[in-house]
Amino acid sequence: MFQARTKADTLKELVTIVSTLVDEAKFTIDKEGISLRAVDPAHVAMVDLKLSKDAFDSYEAEDTELGIDVAKLDQFLRLAKAGEPIDLIHDEEKRRLNVTVGNTTKKMSLIDTTGMSEPKVPNLSLPAKVSLKIEEISQGIKASESVSDHIALTATADFFEIICEGDTDQVQMKLSKDQLIALDCEDKVKSLFPLEYFSNMMRAVPPQSKLDMFLGNDYPVKIEFNISGEKGNVTYLLAPRIESGD
């Protein structure tokens, strides 16, 4: 059993974060809230998301799993205006999720979750932590998109830097320690990442959000941020691009 009501913004936020990596996902639902863990088809990136029942106007649930086509849900949610209430009801008999926006209801067939294994979050010990507002790096990422298909993230004790280097052009964005919310890094670390993935993840982060970014040398980057007024949290992991002789 699952039925809930929430604001369109909350659901849109959640769907945007997930649909950045996957079109279909298994949502684990219990009396405390909703959680999800998924890896993209290429096994390059992972999302780990938790949304408390407090993010909902009303929430009733028993332990269940719902396989949802997030691409279809995303499309339907575009009908909803900001702040508009959305009702979600699990029709167990017909194996559907009924989503109501205003006077319109979409009855979505659920996906069989039997083959959807839940990925394990790797235990990473990353030496550098950078805390900043999403707005601080958005400009640098946009500038990089026309230059190359990969981006380097570097942290030192004094600054955080992104560099995107193509065949002819280079984009560099550098933030000193006093321009960041926090910087905890003893020795210089640097890793290279696929720009398309990194850019899509950053685009999915809600405006005004604070990011905690954890880095190492040629290690995955771990990106953490809150959603729904801190009633939910998200972790993205992105594997590095290792270049021989780099």
| pTM: predicted TM-score of the whole model, two decimal places | 0.94
Indicate the helix (H) or strand (E) that contains 231. none
**What domains, with CATH codes, occur in the chain?**
2-109 (3.10.150.10), 128-238 (3.70.10.10)
Q: For every one of its 246 residues, what pLDDT tens digit does the chain have, with 9 covering 90 and above?
A: 999 999 999 999 999 999 999 999 999 999 999 999 999 999 999 999 999 999 999 999 999 999 999 999 999 999 999 899 999 999 999 999 999 999 999 999 999 998 887 888 888 899 999 999 999 999 999 999 989 999 999 999 999 999 999 999 999 999 999 999 999 999 999 999 999 999 999 999 999 999 999 999 999 999 999 999 899 999 999 999 876 544
pLDDT at residue number 243: 67
Look at the chain and count its residues: 246
Q: How far apart are CA 111 and CA 39, in angstroms?
A: 17
pLDDT at residue number 120: 86
Q: Which residue has the tokens 């719902």?
A: 66
**Residue type for position 89:** I
Distances (CA, A) of 166 to 124, 142, 201, 202: 30, 14, 21, 21
Q: What are the structure tokens assigned to 111, written together?
A: 């996906």
